[in-house]
A and B are shown apart, each in its own frame.
Chain A
Amino acid sequence: GESVGLHLPTLSVQEGDNSIINCAYSNSASDYFIWYKQESGKGPQFIIDIRSNMDKRQGQRVTVLLNKTVKHLSLQIAATQPGDSAVYFCAENFSGGYQKVTFGTGTKLQVIP
């Protein structure tokens, strides 16, 4: 069945370094991808999205890369800050018929001061 997974459950990064969080998806028909950030005790928060007709999209300090050939998604965070510490989820969205969003398990990002 459809699934979205993450390669690394926990990622520790030094403050100021760049972080890269990876995600694999299995549904080649997925046409929209989203990264969410979930801080402790809070609900997931939208970070950045990308449509399947794009390979790269940049936001403020974040960049999402999409490689449809290998069904891989990554989130790059530049100059990681302590406030970036959270669990990051990728989600794939297949809009055929109705919206169907599948979330990955999540990667915990720990920023070391």
Chain B
Amino acid sequence: DSGVTQTPKHLITATGQRVTLRCSPRSGDLSVYWYQQSLDQGLQFLIQYYNGEERAKGNILERFSAQQFPDLHSELNLSSLELGDSALYFCASSPTWRELPDTQYFGPGTRLTVL
């Protein structure tokens, strides 16, 4: 158990809908990262937050957005969903954003299925 929790574990929805994925980082970790993992694909970095502020952006679509709240939990919002958005979405946390090494601890993921 990494200490990172994600809810829900599974999510099935229809095209055009909007969903929110939730992540609680490890106790004491200030950075939260979101990743997308499609079938037979590697981990695609979406976005990183540190202590409530956006720190880095990866291949995140404009239909997607995220935020980190004062209690450090984070939410990833996916809107106008398309079939191609079906994937595993992982959240990871780390203690800092600059210090080496910055090992990321991953949650169990949310499996999103868009029908």
**Interface set of A (CB-CB < 8 Å, partner B):** 31-32, 34, 36, 42-46, 49, 51, 89, 93, 95, 98-106
> What are 9 A-B pairs at a CB distance below 8 A?
A43-B108, A46-B104, A89-B43, A93-B101, A98-B48, A99-B94, A101-B102, A103-B43, A105-B42
| CA–CA, A98 and B94, complex, Å | 13
CB-CB under 8 A for A49 and B101, given A43-B2, A44-B90, A100-B56: yes
| CA–CA, A102 and B55, complex, Å | 15
Taking the closest CB of chain A, its distance from the CB of B41, in whole angstroms, is 7
- For B98, what are the chain A residues with a Cβ–Cβ distance below 8 Å? 95, 98-99
**Are A101 and B2 in contact, with the CB atoms below 8 A?**
no
- For B12, what are the chain A residues with a Cβ–Cβ distance below 8 Å? none
Interface centre among A44, A51, A95 (most CB of B within 10 A): A44
- For B43, what are the chain A residues with a Cβ–Cβ distance below 8 Å? 44, 89, 103
Find residues 4-43 in chain B having any chain A CB closer than 8 Å to their own CB: 4, 31, 33, 35, 41-43
Q: Bits for B61-89, please: 1 = Cβ < 8 Å to A, else 0.
A: 00000000000000000000000000000
| CA–CA, A49 and B31, complex, Å | 19
17 extra A-B contacts, CB within 8 A, seeds A42-B108, A98-B98, A99-B55: A43-B4, A43-B90, A43-B92, A43-B106, A43-B107, A43-B108, A44-B106, A45-B2, A49-B103, A99-B48, A99-B97, A99-B102, A100-B56, A102-B45, A103-B35, A104-B42, A105-B41
| CA–CA, A104 and B35, complex, Å | 13
**Interface set of B (CB-CB < 8 Å, partner A):** 2, 4, 31, 33, 35, 41-45, 48, 55-56, 90, 92, 94, 97-98, 100-109
- For A89, what are the chain B residues with a Cβ–Cβ distance below 8 Å? 42-43
Chain A residue at smallest Cβ distance from B33: A101
Chain B residue at smallest Cβ distance from A87: B42
- For A46, what are the chain B residues with a Cβ–Cβ distance below 8 Å? 103-105
Interface centre among A89, A98, A99, A103 (most CB of B within 10 A): A99
**Are B102 and A93 in contact, with the CB atoms below 8 A?**
yes
**Are B55 and A98 in contact, with the CB atoms below 8 A?**
yes
